[in-house]
Amino acid sequence: MKWISVKWLTVYAVVYMIFLYAPVILLPLFAFNTSTIIAFPLSGFTTEWFVGLWYTDTLHTALGNSMIVGVTTALVSTLLGAFAARASARFAFPGKTGIVGLIMLPLVLPEIIVAVALLVMLNQLGMPLSLWTVVGGHVLICTPFSIAILSSAYRGLDRELEEASFDLGESRWGTFRRVTLPLVLPGVISSLLITFTISLDEFIIAFFLTGTDVTLPVYIWSQLRFPAKLPSVMALGTILLAVSVLLLILAEALRRRSAARQGVDTTLAGV
Amino acid sequence: MTRKDDMNDSIKPMIEIRDVIKKFGTFTALHGITADIREGEFFSLLGPSGCGKTTLLRAIAGFEPPTSGTVAIAGKDMAGIPANRRPTNMVFQSYAIFPHLNVEENVGYGLKTRKMPKAEIAREVAEVLSLVDMKNYGKRKAHELSGGQRQRVALARALVMRPKVILLDEPLSALDKKLRDQMQMELRSLQRSIGITFILVTHDQEEALIMSDRIAVMFDGQIEQLDTPEGLYRHPVNKRVASFIGVMNFLPARVTALSDTHLTLGIAALGEAQVPRDRLGKDVNPDKIDTIGVRPEMLTVLFDQDERSQNKVKGEVVDTEYYGDMTYYEVRLPGHDKPLTISMRNTAGRSVVAPGSTVSVGWGIESIVVFGE
Amino acid sequence: MAWHFDREAGQGLKLISPTLLYVLVMLAAPLLMVITFSFWTQDYLTIDTTPTFANYREAWTTPLYQVLMWRSLKISVIVTGVTVVLAFPIAYYLSFHVKKRKALWLFLITVPFWTSYLLRVFLWKVILGYNGVFNTAFLELGLIQEPLTFILYNLNAVVITLAHAWAPFAILPIFVALEKIDRSLLEAATDLGDSPMRRFFRITLPLAMPGIVAATLIVLIPTVGDFITPRLVGGTDGLMISNMIQIQFGKANNAPLGAALAVSSMVVIGLISAGIFLVGKKLGGRVR
């Protein structure tokens, strides 16, 4: 696009970023606003909505539920992702494209389809809905992300490194402990953080599959109906955003450290 | 076919490879390899990519157990013994320097596995690093090393284990020409001084010739010829080996007369020649002779002053390539379309003949290699 | 060099089997069940398992469902088009004009995506509403005389909100495709006499096509399945087929019909995706 000057592209990029950040910037603004009506002009600064969150028991329950779901999802999907990423980065086997394609399918499948399909199966099997059914659905959609992160970690791991360790007299377990694990560990942690964050934010599957125990997004959904609750929701959203961003920065830093350790160019890996 | 060098048979083999076959699914990578590799020798597996040389090396290392056949190292059958318990160590093509460890930790990696005390590890590592001229780089990480330095670390990491055999998988292919030449000399003299058996895999015939005591030339999963560098160059067993090692001019030829001691060959463009029968390789059947080969330096472009050569033919210079110390002439002889390559040393007072000139080409019977079908 | 087929294949399959098993049990089996389900019928509180096409007949002939299906496709296609077209210049800018701190830019692009999805949609409602940020700001600036009403509770709002929600998913694949283009190819095109514009259409765009196709599919497919955005900002004429699927599984309690609607929309979207993929492949492969 050289015929369009760089100046106009830059202007466009700035406008686009404003578009991207418009809702994100509003979130803290209204969270600290004294008025319960979510509209301009702002009426004054307050932290009462944040303080209020501290005393909302239903929120704490929802948060606890989300933590259970998020942590379990992160552990299981990272484990499943590690198996699949290792297999696809290291080995050739029949049907590989199809198998990997099937595992990555939830990435493009509408979440409502995943949710509805699981709901139908659980109903048919007569299994009650609970936080664990939510975990089941979340693992499904988080595993592809884990695979994407860990694949780049495993690809950077030259197979000759493991062979060299083995050749130098180390056992398979010793090779895993002394070579493989240190080299992919940052990727594993990065995967744990990202999958946790996705699970924490996920609404559609949680909405369909949860029973009486609600997760945080389902709680937010229920609160959106009550105008008086909106400022608290804004405050909650602000906290969630801050936590997500912190986790992401951590994940990105770890991923880059892993790439640097493996001597890989960091600009493109993992994108 | 194996050409035995009788003089050296007294030296006991370090590695005995017997009828090794390796199949990957339906693909056969090694078709029954048999060879002995002697203690303390610098041995090369030479061949084009896909010939099975790396597979054979990995079979010796223990990474690719043979489908059938045996590999014995120092008299001990290696069947069922994995790579981590074999008395061999490998220098990998990528060098495989552990990126999260520094040079010292890399070199000490295997010693730590052996649960050697720390002080002893440090001593051994320092010793081997100074052997490969890397003693000032102990704290560096892999990405802070140049290609040549990585290669030295990889070698040091293998040497420190005091293996019976060091296996090198195309260790110089990632280096640029000048560094490669230097590392060839270093590797060779290091091997001489420590006396460990080295097995080198390479596709570079020049590298193999320079460094090796003996070379196994491999094609399509088989050893075509196993010989000293000079033996390979001067007495290639067939056209494929001849054209893989150095440059060879091929000319159609057939036997016109046969006696108990000699055979007479009619050679395209060069004419008749009498060859003693004992000059034939033992696989060559006189009835099947169809080609002779002659190396560029075995032919001469005759200048006025040297008329001593036994045989000469007239030809036309079609092209010249000037290399400073040498000039390569492409000379077309009547009755043979493809010009012959002739290399001439540029000695004092001899100037390069221009393309288009007619020259005499001299050749000697002792320089001819005879090939059957 | 050599293929380590037999042993490798075994190890690879063994390694991937836990993940594969999980996906078979938790995805493939449920999807098959949904398909089976769609051929059954709801009989008040029980399910009649006699196979029938009745649900499909209803799904494809009822005017309401037809309208919703068409609208879903229309909205999805518009959203996808808008998102990808808006995303391309950004990806191009990042790949060709941002020299330092590319990773930071990419990170900044993904940050808004990590705001709770529900809240993002809700905040668009706040921005676009009658007393919203947009209207108050523009009234204040005197750019408009009275609040604009055509921006909330209709299709426009759905398009804006979804284009925002899927932005990073459109930018990243295009960016990766552009990054992969060997810059010497562009120099070669210039060297051979192409103007910058011709060069863009003959080299850059065709080579970026895989990324554009990936971006298109990644945005298009999930968009059809979204029911939050239409519900929050779409008003009545912004409702989509997914809302109906959700209603059938929820309040209406007619899961088999919901299943038929879900399968139908998946088949339609699958066909469209395959079409886009093939067209993209053809456009990308041919350098004019």
The reply to whether B165 and B264 lie within a common domain is no
Which of A30-34, A94-98, A262-266, B180-184 is predicted least confidently?
Answer: A262-266
The reply to whether B192 and B262 lie within a common domain is no
The reply to whether B148 and B14 lie within a common domain is yes
pLDDT the model gives residue B305: 52
Residue B322: phi and psi, rounded to 5, are: -100, 120
- The mean pLDDT value of chain B amounts to 88
DSSP-assigned letters across all residues of B175-193: S-HHHHHHHHHHHHHHHHH
pLDDT the model gives residue C133: 74
What's the predicted TM-score (pTM) here? Answer: 0.78
With 70 as the cut, is the pLDDT of residue C222 above it? yes
The reply to whether B200 and B313 lie within a common domain is no
Chain A with chain C: Cβ pairs closer than 8 A: 257
Instruction: Identify any residues that bridge with C43 across adjacent strands, giving them in sequence order.
Output: C46
The reply to whether B62 and B211 lie within a common domain is yes
pLDDT the model gives residue C6: 60
Domain stop point among B224, B240, B256 = B240
| Distance (Å, whole) CA B341 – CA B323 | 14
With 80 as the cut, is the pLDDT of residue C154 above it? no
Q: What is the CA radius of gyration of chain C?
A: 23
pLDDT the model gives residue C115: 77
Position B279, amino acid: R
CATH number 1.10.3720.10 is the correct assignment for the domain at C62-285: yes
CB contact under 8 A, A168 and B142: no
Domain stop point among B240, B275, B300 = B240
Domains and CATH numbers, chain A: 57-261 (1.10.3720.10)
Is B1 within a domain? Answer: no
From the list C206, C214, C223, C204, the residue with the least C-alpha distance to C276 is: C214
The reply to whether B40 and B182 lie within a common domain is yes
Beta strands in B39-172 (DSSP E): 42-46, 68-73, 76-77, 88-91, 165-169
- Mean pLDDT along residues B224-231: 93
The reply to whether B158 and B286 lie within a common domain is no
CB atoms under 10 Å from CB of A256, counted, come to 18
Nearest CA in chain A to C19: A80
Most confident of B87-96, B309-318, C5-14: B87-96
Residue B261: phi and psi, rounded to 5, are: -105, -25
- Mean pLDDT along residues A121-150: 90
Give the nearest partner residue to A168 out of B99, B110, B142, using CB atoms: B110
The reply to whether B345 and B284 lie within a common domain is yes
Minimal CA separation from C56 to chain B, in Å: 48
* Cβ–Cβ contact A161 with B under 8 A: yes
CB contact under 8 A, A168 and B92: no
> What residues in C contact B29, CB-CB < 8 Å?
2
- How far, rounded to the nearest angstrom, does the alpha carbon of residue C120 sit from its chain's CA centroid? 17
Instruction: Identify any residues that bridge with B24 across adjacent strands, giving them in sequence order.
Output: B27
CB interface of B with C, residues 317-336, below 8 Å: none
Q: Take residue A181 and report the two structure tokens written for it.
A: 């694990």
C-alpha distances (whole Å) from B135 to each of B139, B166, C276 are: 10, 21, 60
pLDDT the model gives residue B33: 93
With 80 as the cut, is the pLDDT of residue A1 above it? no
CB contact under 8 A, A21 and C112: yes
From the list B55, B57, B51, the residue with the least C-alpha distance to B37 is: B57
Residue-wise pLDDT for B51-87, tens only, equals: 999 999 999 999 888 999 999 999 999 998 988 999 9
H helices of chain C, where? 5-23, 29-37, 54-61, 63-92, 102-110, 117-128, 133-140, 155-165, 167-180, 183-191, 196-199, 205-224, 228-233, 241-249, 255-285
The reply to whether B252 and B127 lie within a common domain is no
Position B181, amino acid: D
- Mean pLDDT along residues A13-36: 85
pLDDT the model gives residue B30: 93
Is B157 within a domain? Answer: yes
> What residues in A contact B153, CB-CB < 8 Å?
none
- Mean pLDDT along residues C223-250: 80
The reply to whether B190 and B280 lie within a common domain is no
With 90 as the cut, is the pLDDT of residue A266 above it? no
Write the CATH number for B358: 2.40.50.140
Could you tell me the sign of the dihedral formed by the alpha carbons of C236, C240, C245, C246, in that order? negative
Question: Which residues 6+ apart lie within 8 Å of A180 measured at CB?
Answer: A157, A162
The reply to whether B272 and B224 lie within a common domain is no
With 80 as the cut, is the pLDDT of residue C23 above it? yes
From the list A100, A208, A110, the residue with the least C-alpha distance to C31 is: A110
| Distance (Å, whole) CA B164 – CA B88 | 6
Residue-wise pLDDT for C241-271, tens only, equals: 888 888 888 777 788 888 898 888 888 888 8
The reply to whether B43 and B129 lie within a common domain is yes
- The mean pLDDT value of chain C amounts to 82
Higher pLDDT, A229 or B169: B169
pLDDT the model gives residue A26: 82
| Distance (Å, whole) CA C55 – CA C50 | 12
CB atoms under 10 Å from CB of B369, counted, come to 23
pLDDT the model gives residue B307: 58
- Mean pLDDT along residues B267-272: 85
Domain stop point among B209, B240, B271 = B240
Write the CATH number for B156: 3.40.50.300
Residue with tokens 């029973």: A211
Q: What is the domain range of residue B292?
A: 247-371
With 60 as the cut, is the pLDDT of residue C71 above it? yes
Taking any CB pair shorter than 8 Å as contact, residues of chain C touching chain B are: 1-6
Most confident of A26-40, A210-224, B294-308, C32-46: A210-224
Q: Sheet holding B368-371: strands in order across?
A: B271-276, B262-267, B249-258, B291-294, B368-371
Helix (H) or strand (E) holding A103: helix A96-104
Total domains in the fold of chain B: 2
| Distance (Å, whole) CA B111 – CA B128 | 12
| Distance (Å, whole) CA B214 – CA C284 | 52
pLDDT the model gives residue C12: 85
Q: Take residue B153 and report the two structure tokens written for it.
A: 């670390």
Which of A73-77, B118-122, C32-36 is predicted least confidently?
Answer: C32-36
Residue spans of the domains in chain C: they are 62-285
Which of A168, A171, A178, A181 has the most B C-beta neighbours within 10 Å, making it the best mutation to test the interface with B?
A168
Tell me A224's DSSP state.
T
Residue-wise pLDDT for B183-210, tens only, equals: 899 899 999 999 999 999 999 999 999 9
pLDDT the model gives residue C199: 83
Helix (H) or strand (E) holding A175: helix A172-175
- Label residue B161 by pLDDT band (50, 70, 90): very high
pLDDT the model gives residue C284: 66
- The ipTM is 0.82
- The mean pLDDT value of chain A amounts to 84
With 90 as the cut, is the pLDDT of residue C103 above it? no
